[in-house]
A and B are shown apart, each in its own frame.
Chain A
Amino acid sequence: MSGAGDTISADEIITIELTVNGTPRLGHVEARKTLADFLREDLALTGTHLGCEHGVCGACTVLVDGEPARSCLMLAVQARGCEVRTIEGLAPEGTLGPLQQAMWENHSFQCGFCTPGFLMQITALLAENPAPSEAEVREALTGNLCRCTGYQSIVRGVMAASGAAPGGG
């Protein structure tokens, strides 16, 4: 399993440079390390949660160059040179952004575990479509699972946020 040509072994250490929440970061990661594990373990950004590690629940959603991505299905090395945005980068430290404010006011979430993935997916939605219809919200968020709320409170929060904060964030 030794590296030859373009092939690298799973545990080979690779150096990557990327930008996370606006800050340039350097990492030395095993080739097989997921982006989620890199964010959580190497950068201590534990707001990105792992619910299934097979790309279904959406709790680990982050933005990679503005596009939502399942960080459990993406390798850290694939994020080389990318702009990654996580839940910790949604608002300045110690503050809430308008989306978070709207979700809070609408009791959008309960246990808080799926929450970061939803917020990142919603951020991407509002960036693309600042005033979505309820049907568009539901369609855009079908890739994120919540077991606590039945989703109605989340839809309500997004609708409030889209009125309050065109452009999201």
Chain B
Amino acid sequence: MAVSQLIGARVQRREDPRLITGRGHFIEDHVLPGLAHMAVVRSPHPHARIVGIDKAAAQSLPGVLAVLTAQDFKAQISGGMPVTPAFAPEKKYVPERFPIAESEVCFQGEPVAVVVATSRALAADAADLVQVEYEPLPAVVDPEAAMVAGSFKAHSDGPDNIGWDMTFAGGDIDAAFAKAEIRVSERILQQRLAPTAIEPRGVMADYSPYDERLTLWLSSQNPHFIRLFVSGAMGLPESHVRVVSPDVGGGFGSKISPYPEDYLVPAASRILSRPVRWIETRTESVMTTIHGRGQVFTAEAAALRDGTLLGLRLTQVLDLGAYHGTFGAFQACACLMSGGVYRWEAISARTVGVLTNKVPTDPYRGAGRPEGTHLCERMVDRVAQELGMDPADLRRKNFAQEFPYVNNFGLTYDSGNYDGTLDRALELVDYPGWRQRQAKAREEGRLIGVGLSTWVEICGFGPSQPTAAATGGIGLVEAAEIRFLPSGSVAAYVGTHAHGQGHDTTFSQIVADTLGVPLAAIEVHHGDTAEGPAFGYGTYGSRSLAVGGMALHQAATVVREKARQLAAHLLEASPDDLDFAQGTFSVRGNPAAHKTVQEVALAAYGGSLPEGMEHGLEAVSYFDPPNFVWPFGAHICVVEVDRDTGAVAIQKYVAVDDCGNVINPMIVEGQLHGGIAQGISQALYEEVVYDQESGQLVTGTMVDYLIPTMNELPVPTLDRTVTPSPTNALGVKGIGEAGTIASSAAVINAICDALSPLGIHHVDMPATPERIWRMIQEAAR
């Protein structure tokens, strides 16, 4: 085994020099000769019948190349946009979704026509001239109201609004509740969120009619899946479609699933026989890029008076929007993770997906796991409050202790040390000190609260067998390829696709240590389906390192072992007698007899190979993990709530997390900082608002949809414990979503703790000053 040098080191990111000099290549930076620009005519109504479309005025504008509607696209695109089984395989009503509406629009922003013109500005001008006559229909806005039989329907030809309705049963829930000495119940909202990558979406397509080949550039986390979906819909062999996702300016889940424009732009290119590009505006982004969350939970927990947790019964009502998101049912994993880090006798979780006249929801950073954690951590705090027990003590009493631990739904947590992260977090935050300060503040009438969130996450998707069922056929393994070039440099190809996570660096560290070559000799390639292995599975669900990093490690190991065989031949020694260190094979006991891996690489292309050995020094490897990975940790937030204004000020934020072995601590800390920021932001600021009567989007700009600035966010104190995953050779887990999964519960628990002297038990998100001020006024009555 080579001495590890770079794994674990704070290596500065290799992608940064181009990004901090403005030399990155994002989707809007790509142009082609003859490029035409597309603008989308979108429905201003959440629900309406299309009576007629008059293209004449738009078509007559000089520079307009085409005005296209569903009629035109039906000859280009077949079938609907895909919906996967995910965690709700038993679907009920799944409305067919064509990328552009023909007779009925079902959410505000749904495409009804496109204009292609010689400039983006002209296309936008002409889009305004397309006259669409609508007959408005009643809008379905509230998912709970939409569940009731006889309510308005989101699709006029649908049977009802129920997308799915299923119950996960984990143990005998009635028996667990029968033993209850106390019960607490709560209704908990998860507001709709807009992922809001700072780079909007964008698509550019170039269809070549003579050889029937399509090149599609788009800002995507998931280029191979997009190739699969788009090639199928356009009737092209998958091998004739190349998808290139260049530098991606943030995704957070919003660039996983295919979008209407991913089909409309290439179809327009095929119709016009010239390259076409569409770049999303910010209002289009808030209105038509997927939303996350959008759920209402009702939950009841049962416990003994000594704090032993017994049972949890919950219902998740999930606002699907107008169509099922491609991976929208992934969010039902909130149910499977609702037990968190605790031992429960039984959990019963019903999930209901409800169609409404809004943009579809789909995975957004954490996707079901923040919701599950938030619910669980709120309910555990409610039990502690009811019992007058310290929330840290109640948690400790119920932590899963022995690993692997099988939860109520048969999911196996690979490794954990929940006491370890909680103890360290309590120490770092000075828990007893804050409890003392809290007591003193309360005497003075001030509202200080301390909130805990002890979390676990399912990630690293995933083993092929369950994930193939979840995607509808493709098992989420990961592929990588290592090529030693004759001069000794290394090209590494991966099927994941970074959008800020620093894979060029982390993956290079793994390759460098496995092959004993310097970082500078390694080039990591990703985001282009024309390169590397046949399929790549994308970056989401905190999977890239635990699955993709392992594939790369495996491929590099295969290459190293072939190099060992060849080195042994060249050194006239047995492969078993060779040591490998610092990139050099040497004969044990005779270090003067050695070959560097670069010398071996050249020899692999030479004329002196042993009999039976093929030329070249390269390997493709697929890694199919035996289990998911299960990062965990403890976050503690301290807040002070202003009694007069309802404003929340975060006084302290501590996060102690465990993602197994760490390849690059600097990048891990960056992921945590950013993830925590997004969870805090959900807790305090963000909400996509639709008018409850009209269904009109109210938060359609960055002025209305609040992304926190530098002045709103605290400086978290980070620390970690290291409990390696036993399921992969690197011992790694994921960290991309951890901060978001943990943090909303810590903040809201702190606010509820602060407000508890007023008799307030629960506060929904976003905990805006107005919401809290109203609750304080209400409580005072």
Contacts and interface: CB of A to CB of B under 8 A. Distances in A.
Interface in A59-109: 59, 86-88, 90-91, 96, 100, 103-105, 107-109
B22 A110 contact: no
Contacts of A141: 709-710
Q: Which 5 residue pairs are nearest across A and B when measured between Cβ atoms?
A: A47-B22, A113-B249, A112-B19, A150-B677, A111-B500
B621 to A, nearest CB: 28
Interface of B: 12-13, 15-24, 26, 28-29, 121, 196-200, 247-250, 252, 281-282, 499-502, 666-667, 669-670, 673-678, 701-703, 707, 709-711, 713, 715-716
A124 B189 CA distance: 43
Contacts of B711: 138-139, 142
Contact of B23 (A47, A110, A146, A151): A47
A100 B500 contact: no
B715 A152 contact: yes
Contacts of B12: 104-105, 107
Nearest to A87: B22
A48 B198 contact: no
A45 to B, nearest CB: 7
Given A48-B22, A146-B198, A110 B701 contact: no
A52 B12 CA distance: 30
Contacts of A112: 15-16, 18-20, 24, 247, 249, 500
Contact of A151 (B19, B200, B677, B703): B677
A50 B249 CA distance: 11
Given A107-B12, A109-B16, A110-B674, 5 more contacts: A32-B121, A51-B200, A53-B282, A96-B21, A138-B711
Contacts of B28: 40, 46, 49-50
B253 to A, nearest CB: 12
Contacts of B713: 150-152
A90 B21 contact: yes
Contacts of A103: 16, 20
Contact of B674 (A49, A52, A116, A149): A149
A113 B20 contact: no
A107 B20 CA distance: 11
A142 B499 contact: no
Given A54-B702, A56-B701, A111-B249, A46 B677 contact: no
13 contacts: A30-B121, A47-B21, A50-B28, A56-B701, A59-B198, A107-B667, A115-B22, A119-B20, A144-B709, A145-B198, A147-B674, A150-B673, A150-B674
B289 to A, nearest CB: 13
A104 B22 contact: no
B546 to A, nearest CB: 19
A152 to B, nearest CB: 5
B22 A155 contact: no
Nearest to B505: A107
Contact of B198 (A113, A138, A150): A113
Given A105-B12, A110-B674, A49 B702 contact: no
A46 B28 CA distance: 8
Contact of A111 (B198, B702, B709, B710): B198
Determine the main DSSP class of B at the interface with A: loop
Contacts of A129: none
Contacts of B675: 150
Contacts of A126: none
A148 interface: yes
Most chain B C-beta atoms within 10 Å of own C-beta, residue among A45, A147, A151: A147
A16 B536 CA distance: 48
A131 interface: no
A145 B20 contact: no
Contact of A91 (B21, B249, B666, B710): B21
Contacts of A119: 20
A153 B673 contact: yes
A86 B13 CA distance: 23
Contact of A147 (B19, B21, B24, B198): B198
A154 interface: yes
Determine the main DSSP class of A at the interface with B: loop
Contacts of B701: 52, 54, 56
A86 B22 CA distance: 9
A50 B120 CA distance: 14
Contacts of A33: 121
A158 to B, nearest CB: 10
Interface string A32-47: 1100000010000111
A37 B29 CA distance: 11
A145 B21 CA distance: 18
A20 interface: no
A152 B702 contact: no
Contacts of B24: 47, 112-113
B26 A113 contact: yes
Contacts of B499: 111
Contact of B21 (A52, A88, A155): A88
Contacts of A142: 709-711
Contact of B707 (A46, A59, A137, A145): A145
A150 to B, nearest CB: 3
A53 B29 CA distance: 16
Contacts of A105: 12
Nearest to A156: B715
Given A96-B21, A149-B670, A152-B716, A53 B281 contact: yes
A107 B670 CA distance: 7
Most chain B C-beta atoms within 10 Å of own C-beta, residue among A53, A107, A148: A148
B17 A104 contact: yes
A52 B13 CA distance: 27
Interface in A10-41: 30, 32-33, 40
Contacts of B13: 104, 107
Contact of B197 (A48, A90, A116, A147): A147
B20 A115 contact: yes
A45 B24 CA distance: 11
Contacts of B26: 46, 49, 113
Contacts of A155: 710
Most chain A C-beta atoms within 10 Å of own C-beta, residue among B19, B22, B29, B197: B22
A46 B29 contact: yes
Given A113-B249, A145-B707, A150-B677, A52 B22 contact: no
A51 B22 contact: no
A88 to B, nearest CB: 5
Contact of A113 (B16, B250, B670, B710): B250
B337 to A, nearest CB: 24
Contacts of B707: 145, 147
Nearest to B23: A47
A85 to B, nearest CB: 12
Most chain B C-beta atoms within 10 Å of own C-beta, residue among A115, A137, A141, A144: A115
A155 B281 CA distance: 29
B597 to A, nearest CB: 29
